[in-house]
Structure 1
Amino acid sequence: MTNSEDITQPKLEVSHFQKDLKAKYEGQNALLFSSLQYYFVPLMYILAFVSILYLRTGYLFVFLFYSFIPLLDEFCSYDIRNPTKEEAKQLTGKIHFKIPLYLAVVFDWLFTFWCVYFIAANKDEISLFNQFGIIFVAGNLAASNINVAHELFHKNGWFDIFMGTFTLAKNLYMHFAIEHIYGHHRNVATHKDPATSRLNQTLYKFIPQTIIGSYFSAWHYENNYQRLKNRSPINIFNKMIYYTLSMFLIPFIVQKIFGTYGMYVFLFTVFNSVFYLETVNYIEHYGLQRKEIEPGIFEKVDIHHSWNAPHRFSNYLLFKLQRHSDHHENGYKEYQTLCSYDESPTLPHGYTVCVLLSFYPPSWFNIMNKVLARYQNDKKTITYKDIQNEVYNYILKFTVVSLTLFVTSLYF
């Protein structure tokens, strides 16, 4: 962790959640060495599969996912128990923490292409409204799998890197493995990073910025790598050539297997997954900027340049992605060893809620700009209680909307 003497930005008061909300984060040692809680991710695929197969709608899953996860986050204690140095050594490299990741990859491939088959084979019997619901669920879970890929390709082992990069092929987003490590982690919280959202930038302006910018950024870094190897950028060793070709080859294969309609379903699912992934990127660094020490030179990345969330259940579903500040300081740390810091900026709720919040920019700005102002030391006029009340109102509204969608889907 960054030494306190080196911190250049204002610190939140220590244990601000305990002071402003309620003390609901007791350290739970038993869970520190357990991997059972991370099997909630594979269980999500089973729940989605059963609900779609028997009800022919994805909206039940949408209702359960976006209503009950925030509820569980509220009633569970906060996940801020950090491993000690000795515990981190014991946790590192343990295969039982890898198994949920590998299982999630397998489940995601099976579930995505089962959804493509299911819709293509029953397109005349399932309404467009319900088809959209199924695609939405498949895309959301595929985005979750990109997070799994992210955990894997950040590591040193060849198998993990292969698995993490290969599974991105299904999302037509293999270049993410290059740009994320060599671009995003280097340029995060600066204007050089297409995957960092600016203050008052809407999600819908950010999405084209990050999708287009990240693709060309990946070409830039891969071409530079080829030059370092004394090779022309355009050669058989340039991975971006194959990653780009895969964007056309994979839909072609899908079309041959599942038909043209199946290919359209697949492409909509891919778009949904990428949109959701980049929405997570949007909330992870919104409005945070590193100081420019001199033209083009920025202060070192530290725990102040990413938004965190201590909400326990969301952290299990995201393999500790919400401990994002530590991830950016220590990119090769395994998820079970990541730490939570009071000094890091903290979101008003878990990533699940904040993603929904970002879909409606007025509510996002109204809440997040206050949170950012509070983090930057404007605590006298803004309290977490005020912010939380606004978040709860938004959760309630989406619960009503998602329940309405589910009930409506039963009649279509």
Structure 2
Amino acid sequence: MSGQADVDAIHWKDPRRYLWLIALAVPTLPFQAGALVGLTGLGVFWWWGPVFAFVLVPVVDSALGRDGANPPEAVMRRLEADRYYRWCTYLYLPLQFGALVWTCGVWSRGGLSLADHVGLAATTGVVAGVAINTAHELGHKRDKLERRLSRMALAQTWYGHFYVEHNHGHHIRVATPEDPASSRMGESFWQFLPRTVIGSARSAWFLESRRLTRRGRRVWSQHNDVLTAWALSAALFSALTAVFGWTVLPYLALQAVLGFCLLESVNYLEHYGLLRRRLPDGRYERVAPRHSWNSNNTVSNLFLFQLQRHSDHHANPLRRYQTLRHFDEAPQLPSGYATMIVLAWIPPLWRRVMDPRLLAHYGDDVTRVSMRSTGGTRAVAGSDE
């Protein structure tokens, strides 16, 4: 059997190899919007980014369905080492910043209505939000270049502290009451949003302060990864303001807020209501695929560098996107992220769809669910005792 597996591995080819380039359509959304406005003369096409992300992608996702196939184990090492897949993520950044500079020019020239201005910022916000996902993929790797590119991609949204909090906070505390990026059953997205934005920033500062203190370095110094990340954002915004004038500052602020709100929408749905058990020694059980919601919707996985296979990502954080696997034990979202994000913004619909799935995952045992109470947030966990 192993001999046949080796033969199959030699001849195996990734059926998605060149489809990953589809992800690079996202940072070009502002250019696409500009072209559509130029062709039609209709300013409504400045809203092309949200239409693309939350209308077109869900429709195509539904039409093409899911793909739960995993790469053969025998090819994993070769697939991980193939640098082509890295370049698919590297190329996002020049397109991302090219779009940002171009849209600053469009904004500063004027001639747009208020609706057009907001549409332009919303389209760029989609690019910025997905850029955080690209930064997420790059920031988990040991390669110094990838880590630096990750920090650069985060500069557009002033969310550089994500680099610290996500890797050293969220991945340690995921699906526990201590994690600001894990949502609770009964907690709407609009309740979750301020909690996670403020909590993640505080967590990042605490984690970085602790790291520097342990190493005998000053917290307020160039060694602080949170401060240097924010400084990179300040430098970017200052440069764009110097070139295009003060008039672009509202645009830069709006697209940044929309960008990180898109990220937090994803955070909301990735671990909704899921809870790791506390062991008799007081620690939490090891992170497993069952502690993250998973999705195998083909199109949205291509656009998000397979972020939706989130269960394997948390079980194996260093694994590259092209080798992430589907696990039958992982709870499954009913659709791709693009659809689920829209549901998350409408709490009654979200709860109608997700609460029954969450309870079914735990065999209708509500004591195993991370739940928000009327008096605040609480989590009820069964014990292994």
The bucket for the TM-score relative to the shorter chain is: 0.7 to 0.9
Look up the match of 1:200: 186
Counterparts of 1:380-399 in structure 2 under 5 Å? none
- The counterpart of 1:167, out of the listed 153, 160, 173, is 153
Per the alignment, in what secondary structure is the counterpart of residue 304 of structure 1? helix
Deviation at 1:239, TM superposition (A): 2.2
Task: Tell me the TM-score normalised to structure 2 length.
Answer: 0.86
Measure the CA separation in 1 of the matches of 2:266 and 2:188. Answer: 13
Q: Does 1:97 align with 2:85?
A: yes
The residue identity in structure 2 corresponding to 1:140 is: V
Look up the match of 2:377: none
Q: Does 1:241 align with 2:227?
A: yes
Q: Does 1:111 align with 2:99?
A: yes
- The counterpart of 1:74, out of the listed 33, 56, 62, is 62
Contact 2:152/2:232 (<8 A) preserved? no
Q: 1:47 to 1:169 in 2, by over 3 A?
A: closer
- The counterpart of 1:52, out of the listed 28, 34, 38, is 34
Contact 2:48/2:123 (<8 A) preserved? no
Look up the match of 2:336: 350
Look up the match of 1:42: 24
Measure the CA separation in 1 of the matches of 2:266 and 2:53. Answer: 16
Measure the CA separation in 2 of the matches of 1:71 and 1:234. Answer: 48
Deviation at 1:302, TM superposition (A): 0.7
Per the alignment, in what secondary structure is the counterpart of residue 245 of structure 2? helix
Q: Report the number of matched residues.
A: 349
Counterparts of 1:300-339 in structure 2 under 5 Å? 300-339=286-325
- The counterpart of 1:288, out of the listed 274, 295, 298, is 274
The residue identity in structure 2 corresponding to 1:196 is: S
Measure the CA separation in 2 of the matches of 1:171 and 1:83. Answer: 34
Measure the CA separation in 1 of the matches of 2:95 and 2:361. Answer: 39
Deviation at 1:248, TM superposition (A): 4.0
Measure the CA separation in 2 of the matches of 1:46 and 1:247. Answer: 21
Which region of structure 1 is more displaced relative to structure 2, 261-270 or 289-298? 289-298
Contact 2:296/2:309 (<8 A) preserved? yes
Measure the CA separation in 2 of the matches of 1:325 and 1:50. Answer: 33
Look up the match of 2:379: none
- The counterpart of 1:251, out of the listed 228, 237, 259, is 237
Q: 1:31 to 1:74 in 2, by over 3 A?
A: farther
Q: 1:145 to 1:163 in 2, by over 3 A?
A: same
Measure the CA separation in 1 of the matches of 2:251 and 2:267. Answer: 25
Contact 1:33/1:91 (<8 A) preserved? no
Per the alignment, in what secondary structure is the counterpart of residue 35 of structure 1? coil
Look up the match of 1:177: 163
Deviation at 1:223, TM superposition (A): 1.3
Q: Does 1:32 align with 2:18?
A: no
Task: Tell me the TM-score normalised to structure 1 length.
Answer: 0.80
Q: 1:198 to 1:135 in 2, by over 3 A?
A: same
Q: 1:352 to 1:332 in 2, by over 3 A?
A: same
Deviation at 1:52, TM superposition (A): 2.4
Percent of aligned pairs sharing the same letter: 30
Pairwise CA RMSD: 2.0
Per the alignment, in what secondary structure is the counterpart of residue 352 of structure 2? helix
Q: 1:60 to 1:228 in 2, by over 3 A?
A: closer
Q: 1:349 to 1:377 in 2, by over 3 A?
A: same
Contact 1:115/1:134 (<8 A) preserved? yes
Unaligned runs of 5+ in 1: 1-28, 380-412
Contact 2:29/2:123 (<8 A) preserved? no
Deviation at 1:183, TM superposition (A): 0.1
Measure the CA separation in 1 of the matches of 2:58 and 2:13. Answer: 20
Contact 1:251/1:267 (<8 A) preserved? no
The residue identity in structure 2 corresponding to 1:52 is: G
Contact 1:307/1:325 (<8 A) preserved? yes
Look up the match of 1:147: 133
Q: 1:354 to 1:65 in 2, by over 3 A?
A: same
Per the alignment, in what secondary structure is the counterpart of residue 183 of structure 2? coil
Deviation at 1:31, TM superposition (A): 6.7
Per the alignment, in what secondary structure is the counterpart of residue 279 of structure 2? strand
Which region of structure 1 is more displaced relative to structure 2, 81-90 or 41-50? 41-50
Look up the match of 2:357: 371
State the 4+ residue runs in structure 1 displaced beyond 6 angstroms: none
Deviation at 1:263, TM superposition (A): 1.2
Measure the CA separation in 2 of the matches of 1:254 and 1:73. Answer: 36
